[in-house]
A and B are shown apart, each in its own frame.
Chain A
Amino acid sequence: MDDQAQPRQRLLYLHARTPSVFSDVLGYTLIEPVKGFTVEISGGEFEWPYVSVHDAVVDGWQIVQFPHLQSPFSDTELDILGYEFILQKMEVIP
């Protein structure tokens, strides 16, 4: 079977303001399953495709990892920005 006809995993990392899927997205990374694909910080205006994780789910993305909430917690220290959701779409990439 032609490999090109197999669905491949598109990945979307969304960093939400809170663990709620309805909260605003603060960080966005899309990874296409294409050889040589790279991500890139925008030097200009960036168009945000989704306001929330829920927006992405409505658009057909499936959440494959929810943020871990059992990690050590500090009420004084800040660490990473937002709560990371990892989503996928299995699609045939032309």
Chain B
Amino acid sequence: MNDAKYLLSDVDMARFLVNGYHVVELALPDGLNEQIAEELDALTANPGDAITESVPALWRVVEHPQVRGALISILGEDYTVNSHRHWHCKLPGSGDMQWHQDGTNNRGTTIDRLLGLYYPHTITADMGPTVIVPGTQFRNAPTDRMATYTNIRGQVPLTVRAGTFAITHYDLWHGTASNRSGVKRHMIKFLFNRTRENEAPSWNHDPEALNRARDWGARDKAQDAVNVLAFGNPLGVSQSDHYKERTIRQACWQELLGQRAAN
């Protein structure tokens, strides 16, 4: 069992369901980020899935208790590290990558796969950060339907500190800005899978958290799962869309609580 202190809280989980991502700043051993960045800088070809053989220290990131705690919380204790992984080296002067999903939609209420994005050095706005769009993970929109969007209100550039591990819902819309800096931007993408349905919450769950009343004053500013799930609307979408996404996220939440397995 992973140390319980690394598991997510009810509010963390609710925010993940609303926004589709969770960012962890890892407390890695001194020098590990730098070592990985140097090893990546020295690579002359992209080894594809074998990036973890070329840079074995990446396992120390993937298996870090903070990463495991977040993944257990969202995918369950028995999640697996998928054999697919990819080193995204964005060279100086390279252009942006438009909005996309990594495959076809996984529309449903089961959270059964996640992306993990690790950044071994600090990412600034001019280095070509990954950019994500909170709340888009439940949209049944294939990548080619995103082709006429460029900037989206509420998009979040992942300008993050060295040692950040960003976990995203597989279907979250994402892209990349141009790299206008003089340095290579490294990001290593991992994929994680659920292996079985939750029979009980796999995070630091407090059953009392579900008894909060809806707070129409604080709305999504309230610091509890009930209100985050009810009022969260990170893009300010229309009322119709908000009602629909709220229904989908509530279904996800019930499934994570183990309600579907119980029925």
- A80–B149 Cα gap in the complex (Å)? 10
Which of A2-10, A42-50, A54-62 is the contact stretch?
A: A42-50
Q: Kindly list 7 other residue pairs between chains A and B, CB separation below 8 angstroms, not including A17-B236, A43-B159.
A: A13-B148, A24-B236, A29-B148, A38-B95, A41-B97, A78-B139, A78-B241
| Chain B contacts for A39, CB-based, 8 A | 98, 150
Q: What would be 10 A-B contacts, judged by CB atoms less than 8 Å apart?
A: A13-B148, A27-B152, A29-B150, A30-B150, A42-B177, A43-B128, A43-B159, A43-B177, A44-B177, A79-B145
Contact for B141 among A24, A46, A81, CB less than 8 A? A81
Contact flag A27-B151 (CB < 8 Å), given A41-B98, A80-B145, A81-B139 = yes
Q: How many residues does chain B have at the interface if contact means C-beta atoms less than 8 Å apart? A: 43
Whether, in the assembled complex, B78 has its beta carbon less than 8 Å from a beta carbon of chain A, the answer is no
**B99-A41 in contact (CB<8A):** yes
| Chain B contacts for A43, CB-based, 8 A | 125-129, 131, 157, 159, 177-178
Q: Which residue of B lies closest to A77 (CB)?
A: B140
Binding site for A on B (CB under 8 A): 95-99, 107, 125-129, 131, 133, 136, 138-141, 145-146, 148-155, 157, 159, 175-178, 235-238, 241, 244-245, 247-248
**A48-B153 in contact (CB<8A):** yes
B137 to chain A, nearest CB (A): 10
Q: How many residues does chain A have at the interface if contact means C-beta atoms less than 8 Å apart? A: 30
Q: Counting chain A CB atoms within 10 Å of each CB, which of B128, B146, B238 scores highest?
A: B238
Contact flag A79-B141 (CB < 8 Å), given A42-B177, A43-B126 = yes
**B145-A27 in contact (CB<8A):** no
Binding site for B on A (CB under 8 A): 13, 15, 17-18, 23-30, 38-44, 46, 48, 75-82, 84
Q: Which residue of B lies closest to A28 (CB)?
A: B151
B139 to chain A, nearest CB (A): 5
Chief secondary structure at chain A's binding surface: loop
| Chain A contacts for B245, CB-based, 8 A | 78
| Chain A contacts for B247, CB-based, 8 A | 76
| Chain B contacts for A28, CB-based, 8 A | 150-153
- A40–B97 Cα gap in the complex (Å)? 8
**A27-B139 in contact (CB<8A):** no
| Chain B contacts for A46, CB-based, 8 A | 151, 155
- A48–B155 Cα gap in the complex (Å)? 12
Contact flag A24-B153 (CB < 8 Å), given A17-B236, A43-B126 = yes
| Chain B contacts for A26, CB-based, 8 A | 152-154, 235-237
**B95-A44 in contact (CB<8A):** no
- A29–B149 Cα gap in the complex (Å)? 6
Query: When A and B form their complex, which 4 residue pairs have the shortest distance between CB atoms, in order from nearest?
Result: A43-B177, A44-B125, A29-B150, A43-B125
| Chain B contacts for A44, CB-based, 8 A | 125-126, 157, 159, 177
| Chain A contacts for B248, CB-based, 8 A | 76, 78
B76 to chain A, nearest CB (A): 25
- A26–B173 Cα gap in the complex (Å)? 14
- A39–B159 Cα gap in the complex (Å)? 20
**A15-B149 in contact (CB<8A):** yes
Contact for A78 among B138, B154, B236, CB less than 8 A? B138
